[in-house]
A and B are shown apart, each in its own frame.
Chain A
Amino acid sequence: MTGQDAPGGSGPAIDIRSVCKSYTRGQQTVPVLQNVSFHIAKGEFVALMGPSGSGKSTLLNLIAGIDRVDSGSIFVSGADITTLSESELARWRSRSVGFIFQFYNLIPVLTALENVELPLLLTPLSARERRKHAEAALALVGLADRMDHKPSELSGGQQQRTAIARAIVTDPDILVADEPTGDLDRVSAGEILDLMAGLSESLNKTIVMVTHDPRAAQRAHLVRSLEKGLLIDAGNGAEGGNGNADAPLHS
């Protein structure tokens, strides 16, 4: 399966073009991503792998619009998000991206239902509609009977399901997940991966997941590997890499 030959079959959902990113530590500039280019089709479930410090989380943050590129462009559903202002980017995130964190990042004082309802405050929905949507999202992840529980009253797997419900409640085009199973036991991790694969297949969501776990990566349609800021592996895709998007990929 290639980036252009995706399950959704309607062109790239995410198009990354010659992206460079570096961080400054004291006097030193550390390159994190070097001229990375590839694209992900709509409905595709992509795993980003690589050792610590390879730049995979940075790339995920750039795709999700929570960090800025030094150079290059990122097109999501045809729009170049690198040209958006901070407030435009915040609006875009609220509509277009669902983020799943490794440590869930749920609000501890709110119930599961309130946590899931939170992103809907940024929509014009009424309180009743917001509640209805949040209940539906929780039901979708199998937590219909845990809506009034606070995160501390839920297991790790249930908390991550709540976080997934929060990520999908606004019906975004893409989901980004930063090591979503990194803090879970094997059974719970399996359940979360089943859920994400299901979202990709049944709801045609484009999913980009950073993971260290090869078992988790196996559940993706496509695996991309990064090392020292370079895209070194196209998985079973045929295009992408560093520099020219049409250049052959490292194997």
Chain B
Amino acid sequence: MLTLRFILKNLSRHKLRNCLTIVGIAVSVLSFGLLRTTVDAWYAGVEASSATRLVTRNSISLIFSLPVSYEERIRAVDGVTIVSRGNWFGGEYIDEKNFFPNFAVDARTYLELYPEIQLSEDQKAAFLRDRKGCIIGDKLAKRFGWKLGDPVTLKGTIFPGNWGMTVRGIYTGRDKGTDETQLLFHWDYLNETLKKTSPNRADQAGFYMIGVSSADLAASTALAIDNRFKNSLAETLTETEKAFQMSFVAMSGAIVAAIRIVSLLVIVIIMAVAANTMAMSARERMGEFAALKVLGFGGGYLALLILGESLTIATLGSALGCAMTFPAAHAFGQAVSQFFPVFQVSGLTVTLQGGAALVVGLVAGIVPALRAQSVGIAEALRRIA
């Protein structure tokens, strides 16, 4: 207890310096947490993907579509349990700054394939009944204050024109990683309109979402689908939903890598700051360390005092930083919700924040502890005199 009191009381020697170091560590831990959460947000789609879902798209590029006639042929492949089709619509609400993801999908099969989209039965029925109906995520509804029955008009960018629809359902995510910022409307509405306005673009699906009976069958089923359309005018590329999502993340791989490097640099910088604080503290106390050695205390006890103080500072900074991470991530997540629909601080991030602070505390204390251990008693006492 006396040693613990000693360590804690040592913190009161230079209150301002230690407070600034604690705040510095807290800000670093906060930055580290936010940067890691940003990386996690990048991978949110990957994390939310299911191992029993495949995505089939045109093998040339995602911007090329596939004939709607493929749907029946895909359904006939062994292992396939359900097929849904969809198009990235890319519509804007009033202005491009109001961006949110919006898709035209085959509603019945899509909702069956994505059980994580939680919709009440009456809203689901209303959506399926109304060909110009749409469903929106809870976050999107809150963002624009939309309610059931509200009319929404999207300005088409890929499919020109004004696309009026009515909110028939507001869904919530079953899991934390479910995107609640999307708008989904009927693919039939898109297709029938295209038949009138651009007949050559009609009866085309941007992608097929496929359910397979078992994750073990995913690879063989994907191969079988692609083989079925080999040497056709529109060859396919089928991959797991995870791989499909990863291909988007890979496009911004350099940015993700840069964010990761910066998050580590933040920790290295604060390590240097904390090490400097501890080095100054230890240097000022060399006379005391010599006196303690005279009393019979060994280097281990001195190391305990220094590392204890260093770890206490790091722990306080870490606790403050972790506590600030949640409200900061909430505010940051709201500010960038159109880019990162899922912005959640994970348990792993909090663990890494704590771990990083622990490493900072240990590294910052090691050199001063070693120096204190090697202090020559007689020399240090002569210096005091």
B233 close to chain A: CB less than 8 A: no
B296-A103 in contact (CB<8A): no
Once the chains are docked, how many angstroms separate the CA of A90 from the CA of B289? 13
A105 close to chain B: CB less than 8 A: yes
B285-325 vs A, CB cutoff 8 Å, 1 = contact: the mask equals 00110011111111001000000000000000000000000
Residue among A87, A93, A94, A105 with max Cβ neighbours from chain B (10 Å): A105
A105-B287 in contact (CB<8A): yes
B297-A122 in contact (CB<8A): yes
Q: Which residue of B lies closest to A167 (CB)?
A: B295
Residues of B within 8 A of A103 (CB): 384-385
Residues of A within 8 A of B301 (CB): 121
B15: min CB distance to chain A, Å = 11
From A64, A94, A95, A127, contact of B1 by CB (8 A):
A127
B296-A90 in contact (CB<8A): yes
Residues of A within 8 A of B385 (CB): 57, 102-103
B142 close to chain A: CB less than 8 A: no
Which stretch from A110-118, A139-147, A212-220, A231-239 is at the chain B interface? A110-118
From A90, A99, A127, contact of B297 by CB (8 A):
A90
B288-A66 in contact (CB<8A): no
Residues of B within 8 A of A118 (CB): 2, 6, 292, 295
Once the chains are docked, how many angstroms separate the CA of A110 from the CA of B9? 7
For A, the interface residue count at a CB cutoff of 8 angstroms equals 31
Once the chains are docked, how many angstroms separate the CA of A148 from the CA of B97? 66
A160: min CB distance to chain B, Å = 14
A204 close to chain B: CB less than 8 A: no
Residues of A within 8 A of B2 (CB): 114, 117-118, 121, 127, 130
Beyond A93-B296, A94-B295, A118-B295, whether A109 also contacts B13 by CB under 8 A is yes
Segment 1-31 of B: residues with Cβ below 8 Å from A: 1-3, 5-6, 9-10, 12-13
A61 close to chain B: CB less than 8 A: yes
Beyond A102-B385, A105-B287, A107-B6, whether A94 also contacts B378 by CB under 8 A is no
Residues of A within 8 A of B9 (CB): 109-110
A190 close to chain B: CB less than 8 A: no
Once the chains are docked, how many angstroms separate the CA of A61 from the CA of B3? 27
B359 close to chain A: CB less than 8 A: no
Once the chains are docked, how many angstroms separate the CA of A91 from the CA of B378? 17
Residues of A within 8 A of B288 (CB): 105, 107
B296-A95 in contact (CB<8A): yes
B381 close to chain A: CB less than 8 A: yes
Which secondary structure dominates where chain A touches chain B? helix
Once the chains are docked, how many angstroms separate the CA of A249 from the CA of B148? 111
Q: Which residue of B lies closest to A105 (CB)?
A: B291
B377 close to chain A: CB less than 8 A: yes
B296-A66 in contact (CB<8A): no
A108: min CB distance to chain B, Å = 8
A38 close to chain B: CB less than 8 A: no
A38-77 vs B, CB cutoff 8 Å, 1 = contact: the mask equals 0000000000000000000110010010110000000000
From A61, A101, A107, A122, contact of B378 by CB (8 A):
A61
A110-B6 in contact (CB<8A): yes
Residues of B within 8 A of A122 (CB): 295-297
Residues of A within 8 A of B378 (CB): 58, 61, 66-67
Binding site for B on A (CB under 8 A): 57-58, 61, 64, 66-67, 87, 90-91, 93-95, 99, 101-103, 105, 107-110, 114, 117-119, 121-122, 127, 130, 166, 178
Beyond A105-B287, A121-B301, 19 additional contacts (C-beta under 8 Å) are: A57-B382, A57-B385, A58-B378, A66-B377, A66-B378, A90-B296, A90-B297, A91-B296, A93-B296, A94-B296, A95-B296, A103-B385, A107-B6, A109-B12, A110-B6, A117-B2, A118-B2, A119-B295, A127-B2
A and B contact pairs by CB, cutoff 8 A, 23 listed: A61-B378, A64-B294, A66-B377, A67-B377, A67-B378, A93-B295, A93-B296, A94-B296, A99-B295, A102-B385, A103-B384, A105-B291, A107-B6, A109-B9, A114-B2, A114-B6, A118-B6, A119-B295, A121-B3, A122-B297, A127-B2, A130-B2, A178-B381
